[in-house]
Structure 1
Amino acid sequence: MIYTVTFNPAIDYVVRLDKALEVGEVNRAKGEDCVLGGKGINVSGVLAQLGCESVALGFVAGETGAWLERGLAAQGLRTDFIHLEQGMTRINVKIKAGQETELNGAGPAIPASALHALEEKLDALTESDVLILAGSIPSSMPQDTYERLLARLQGRGVRAVVDATRDLLVNVLQYHPFLIKPNNHELGEIVGRVLTGDEEITAAARALQTQGARNVLVSMAGDGALLVDETGAVHRIGCPKGKVVNSVGAGDSMVAGFVAGYLQTGRYDDALRLGTACGSATAFSLGLAKKSEIDALLAAL
């Protein structure tokens, strides 16, 4: 089974205006949507499009948490959230008025008892399972939570996927994650220099492998992606043609596609192709990629 973890899920309230936002005035929307999300939840959503079942883990609170949980169930996603007694699952307001303005909620405080409850759920994972950790860690939680979770799983053969930045990513390498997915700019920040060209990106990815990462997938927006797999082979792929309308969730979609592709075929080149198709399909869509969109781009790669 694939398990995704979203520490701080959200309901995105997206408001569209037909003119510029006027601060201090009453602004009337021409349309609005509610999107249920968070990085791990996004991964679960795209996995479902690919026919891969997953369980979304994390924390929810209050009536907004109940709403999010019901909404994901209506989409056919399996969840096993921990319910917090205090606070409310956050609402992020995103105003699209030419330029986009965002107001992101803080989310509930996550007590140590809730984190312990999550750890107990993860204790059931075995070598047949995949655990996907994505995004930042809320300020109410220990900032070494990723390390703590992977240390607890060490020796059980669970394939861990980590999509995070800087120290959050570097500090888990000692636990030999199956996959890490920095973008080229994040990879440059980690190694302390601007990376130009495939040769430098490959060398930086290999440096993270020497620290423990098994497979390093580097996304490069419109320039495609580069994978250094655990055998040392380098795989390079370009980006399919299309108009980028939404970058939110594209990285999560790439992770979902890569994991699904690898589990389905056991081949890293197939995983890279499907990951690239999924990431691009989301970037070319207003929401997360649908299967028909993924299939169309996959055929063009």
Structure 2
Amino acid sequence: MIYTVTFNPSLDYVVHMKTFTAGDINRAEQEMIYPGGKGINVSLVLGNLHIPSKMLGFIAGFTGREIERLAKANGGDTDFIVLDEGCSRINLKVSADDETAVNGMGPHIPEEKLQALLTQIDTLKAGDTLVLAGSISSDIPDDIYEQILKRLQGRGIRVVVDATGDLLKNVIKYKPFLIKPNNFELGELFSVDLHTDEEITVCAKQLQAMGARNVLVSLGGDGALLLGEDGQVYRRQSPNGTLVNSVGAGDSMVAGFLAGFEASKGDLNEALKMGISAGSASAFHEWLATEDDIKEVYAAL
């Protein structure tokens, strides 16, 4: 079973307009409301590919109830911890000349609720996969990812980490199965600007030397590069297409990678191909890619 954790899920309110003018009244021409959060996105795309997973994390208030309702309505299986106070955050996404986002803060998470999540994670079994994705709210210990990987060490559980900065860097020593920085995040870890595949590979190898088993570097419209635990470098370009919405594309890539890895019984090249197919398909559509969307992109690679 695959489990995903979203510490600070959101209700994403997405509006479209031709132009956005700061300091003035802007009227939406189209609007959608989605359940948001990187782990939630991973689970929903996995579900679209007929791979079961369970969403873990925290919800609160009327927005939290709507996040759970929408997740279930889109095929998700949830086991969220309900907070007694506050409301899950609302994130505003404005799609006009450019993409603009205003992300809410999220509710306070008491210590006893955090311990309840850790207790859930402790029930994972050998062969399970845990996906830790996204940022954490300010009142959660900044080493929470590290705490989780330490608890799971030696138990035969695959861990995927899609995070930035110290959240990512501090867990690498626990040998996560997969990490997925983008090229900018990878450069920030080493305080360098990365421009070529060779430069990206050098930094990816440093992360692998530190403990990461597979390093998947997303390159936006240029596809992705994978440094596999077999020592091989795999590289694929994205197919041609029109960017509609970049939100969730990276999460879709993680879901596609896991789906491809499972379907091919561990073929890293196939996992990368499925990852790029799912990530690109989501980027080419209003929201997360369906199975048919992904199959169409896959056929074009």
Normalising by the smaller structure, the TM-score range is over 0.9
C-alpha deviation, 1:100, in angstroms: 4.2
Change (3 A) 1:84 1:223: same
Quote how far apart the aligned CAs of 1:99 are.
Answer: 4.1
How many corresponding residue pairs? 300
Q: Does 1:235 align with 2:234?
A: yes
1:96 and 1:161 map into 2 onto residues whose CA distance is 30
Deviation digits for residues 12-58 of structure 1, max 9, x if unmatched?
Answer: 11233455446354x44333211111000010111011110100000
Which residue in 2 is equivalent to 1:70? 69
Letter of the structure 2 residue corresponding to residue 140 of structure 1: D
Identity of counterpart residues, as a percentage? 56
User: Which ranges of structure 1 fall in alignment gaps of 5 or more residues?
Assistant: none
Matches of 2:198 and 2:256 in 1, distance apart? 25
Shift of 1:299: 1.1
> 1:269 maps to what in 2?
269
Deviation by residue 1:251-290 (Cα, 9 ceiling, x = unmatched)? 1000000011111112111100000100111111111111
Distance in structure 2 (CA, Å) of the matches to 1:284 and 1:99: 16
Which AA in structure 2 matches 1:64?
Answer: T
Write the distance in 2 (CA, Å) between the matches of 1:167 and 1:195.
19
Alignment correspondent of 1:163 = 162
Residue of structure 1 in register with 2:295 after alignment: 295
Distance across 1 between alignment mates of 2:57 and 2:228: 29
Say if 2:91 and 2:103, in contact at 8 Å, map to a contact too: yes
Instruction: Measure the CA separation in 1 of the matches of 2:165 and 2:20.
Output: 36
Deviation string for 1:209-235 (max 9, x for gaps)? 110100001111122111111111111
2:12 is the alignment partner of 1:16: no
TM-score normalised according to structure 1 size: 0.96
Q: Which residue matches 1:182?
A: 181
Aligned partner of residue 33 in structure 2, secondary structure: strand
SS in 2 for 1:58: strand
Tell me what 1:108 maps to.
Answer: 107
Query: Structure 2 matches for 1:74-223, cutoff 5 A?
Result: 74-223=73-222
> What letter is aligned with 1:44?
S
TM-score by length of 2: 0.96
Mapped contact 2:35–2:68 kept (Cα < 8 A): no
The question of whether the paired residues in 1 share the 8 Å contact of 2:261 and 2:270 is answered with yes
- Report deviation, 1:80: 0.3
- What stretches of structure 2 of length at least 5 have no aligned partner? none
